[in-house]
């Protein structure tokens, strides 16, 4: 049973009616796979006020609005969380329990914002962690295409957002001081939206800063998660190398007992005149972060190089 993006902000405010819909235009715009159901359909019985949870609605929450136990701080504020967070763990466990006990299915959590905090999540929840190590250039320019073609700056601004919310990380704090990025405090989903708009207005066309913030988040994320995963998968290679695809299929079946058909894996690769500039910025940020990474014992040049070469 697949639960997509458990930390997505929409889960904090989605309604019963919305989750029953499909929203095909938005799905197409975001390049989500075709489906007869809503992107977040698996959460439908976890929305406050559903029959499964009569009498269990969270105090202070609105009936029929938001997934139970989801908090604004889960979205990006706690991205680089180092210590265990009981609220996050309780939230994830409630999803796992729903799949296993109420639906009698194995839960699969498709995280997009867990890499910075995967260590404490793994310690608290028995799981098999698969790390998708995407090519950083393709990942960055996927967001840029969204901004240029659809006016959607979200996928680039979120990295500026994470950096501004993560000044408790020493290296990020140094970077924010150098770039004059102010710290943020987001306490509600409405705060999240207002602050996003402010950041988008300020940084949507600052390509250099977007590249720097993306690189910092990417490098720290993968340095943190590499030692806390069971299997590393390179999606770009998976999509074009049949031998690698067979190897990964065999590994996953051996480790999880599930046989997956990965033949439909496809990753868009981008060719852009800014690619050399991006790689220059990326490795300058790696050099900037190296002293911090060494102090944490988390330097992993090989994974970063493999990711860069994967396209």
pLDDT of residue 166: 93
Residue 234 in any domain: the answer is no
Same domain, 157 and 96: no
Q: What average pLDDT does this structure show over 240-259?
A: 93
Comparing 32-36, 63-67, 107-111, 267-271, the range with the smallest average pLDDT is 32-36
Decide: pTM greater than 0.85. Answer: yes
User: Is the model's pLDDT at 56 over the cut of 70?
Assistant: no
Token couple for 286: 């790696």
Residues 94 and 221 in one domain: no
Look up tokens 């190897």; give the residue. Answer: 247
207/300 same-domain check = yes
pLDDT of 77 over the 90 cut? no
Instruction: Give the pLDDT confidence score for residue 33 in this predicted structure.
Output: 62
Residue 40 lies in a domain: yes
116 shares a domain with 142:
no
pLDDT at 3: 95
Contacts of 199 (CB under 8 A, 6+ apart): 157, 160, 161, 164
Q: Does residue 221 share a domain with residue 143?
A: yes
Do 216 and 163 form a contact (C-beta atoms < 8 A)? yes
Considering only residues 98 and 58, tell me which one the structure prediction assigns the higher pLDDT. Answer: 98
Residue 53: pLDDT band by 50, 70, 90 thresholds?
Answer: very low
With b meaning 16 or more CB within 10 Å and e meaning fewer, what string describes 57-93?
Answer: beeebeeebbbbbbbbbbbbbbbbbeeebeebbebbe
Both 142 and 79 in one domain: the answer is: no
Say how far apart CA 193 and CA 201 lie, in whole Å.
12
> Does residue 21 fall inside a structural domain?
yes
pLDDT of 54 reads 42
Is the pLDDT at 12 greater than 60? The verdict is yes
The Cα 58–Cα 48 span in angstroms is 7
pLDDT score of 294: 82
- 123 and 75 in a common domain: yes
Quick check: 129 pLDDT over 50? yes
Report the percentage of the chain scoring pLDDT > 90.
48
The pLDDT of residue 292 is: 87
Is residue 30 included in any domain, yes or no?
Answer: yes
pLDDT at 1: 92
108 and 7 part of one domain: yes
The residue-averaged pLDDT of 264-283 equals 85
Question: Which residues lie below 8 Å from residue 9, measured CB to CB, with a gap of 6+?
Answer: 72, 75, 189, 192
Q: Are residues 156 and 223 in the same domain?
A: yes
What's the whole-number mean pLDDT along residues 90-107?
93
3-state SS, residue 162: helix
Residue 285 lies in a domain: yes
By CB atoms closer than 10 A (0-12, 13-18, 19+), residue 265 is middle
Closest CA to 304 of 282, 284, 288: 282
- Give the three-state DSSP class for 47: strand
pLDDT at residue 51 in the model: 41
Instruction: Average the pLDDT over each of 21-25, 55-59, 250-254 and give the range with the smallest value.
Output: 55-59
Across 5-26, average pLDDT: 79
pLDDT: is 204 or 224 the higher one?
A: 204
pLDDT, mean of residues 260-267 = 88
Domain that holds residue 192: 136-229+267-309
Residues 159 and 304 in one domain: yes
Per-residue pLDDT, 242: 94
Same domain flag for 97 and 155: no
Q: What is the pLDDT of residue 89?
A: 93
Quick one: pLDDT at residue 186? 83
Q: How confident is the model at residue 307 (pLDDT cuts 50, 70, 90)?
A: low
pLDDT, averaged across the chain: 85
Q: Provide the β-strand partners of residue 232.
A: 131
Q: Give a yes or no: residue 254 inside a domain.
A: no
Query: What is residue 137's predicted lDDT score, i.e. its pLDDT?
Result: 92
- Residue 144 inside a domain? The answer is yes
Per-residue pLDDT band for 69 (boundaries 50, 70, 90) equals very high
Average of pLDDT values for 23-48? 71
Same domain, yes or no: 108 and 210: no
Q: Which pLDDT value is given to residue 16?
A: 81
Evaluate whether residue 259 is within a structural domain: no
SS3 131: strand
Among 69, 99, 127, give the residue marking a domain's end: 127
Q: Which of 220, 218, 192 is nearest to 279 (CA)?
A: 218
Total domains in the fold of the chain: 2
């Amino acid at each position: 049973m697949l639960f997509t993006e458990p930390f997505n902000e929409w889960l904090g405010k989605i309604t019963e009616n919305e989750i029953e819909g499909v929203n095909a235009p938005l799905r197409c715009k975001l390049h989500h796979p075709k489906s007869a159901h809503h992107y977040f359909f698996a959460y439908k019985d976890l929305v406050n006020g559903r029959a499964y949870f009569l009498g269990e609605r969270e105090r202070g929450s609105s009936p029929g609005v938001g997934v139970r136990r989801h908090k604004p701080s889960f979205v990006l504020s706690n991205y680089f969380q180092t210590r265990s967070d009981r609220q996050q763990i309780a939230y994830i466990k409630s999803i796992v329990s729903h799949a296993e006990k109420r639906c009698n299915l194995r839960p699969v959590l498709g995280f997009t914002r867990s890499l910075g905090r995967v260590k404490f999540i793994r310690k608290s929840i028995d799981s098999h962690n698969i790390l998708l190590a995407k090519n950083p250039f393709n990942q960055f320019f996927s967001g840029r295409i969204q901004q240029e073609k659809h006016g959607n700056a979200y996928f680039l601004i979120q990295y500026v957002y994470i950096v501004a919310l993560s000044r408790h990380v020493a290296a990020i704090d140094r970077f924010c001081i150098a770039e004059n990025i102010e710290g943020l405090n987001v306490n509600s989903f409405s705060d999240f939206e207002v602050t996003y708009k402010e950041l988008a207005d300020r940084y949507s066309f600052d390509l250099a800063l977007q590249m720097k913030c993306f690189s910092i988040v990417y490098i720290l994320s993968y340095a943190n998660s590499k030692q806390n995963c069971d299997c590393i998968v390179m999606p770009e290679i998976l999509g074009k190398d049949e031998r690698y695809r067979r190897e990964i299929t065999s590994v996953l079946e051996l480790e999880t007992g599930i046989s997956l058909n990965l033949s439909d894996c496809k990753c868009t690769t981008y060719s852009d005149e800014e690619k050399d500039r991006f790689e220059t910025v990326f490795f300058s940020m790696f050099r900037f972060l190296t002293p911090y990474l060494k102090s944490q014992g988390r330097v992993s040049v090989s994974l970063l190089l493999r990711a860069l070469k994967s396209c």
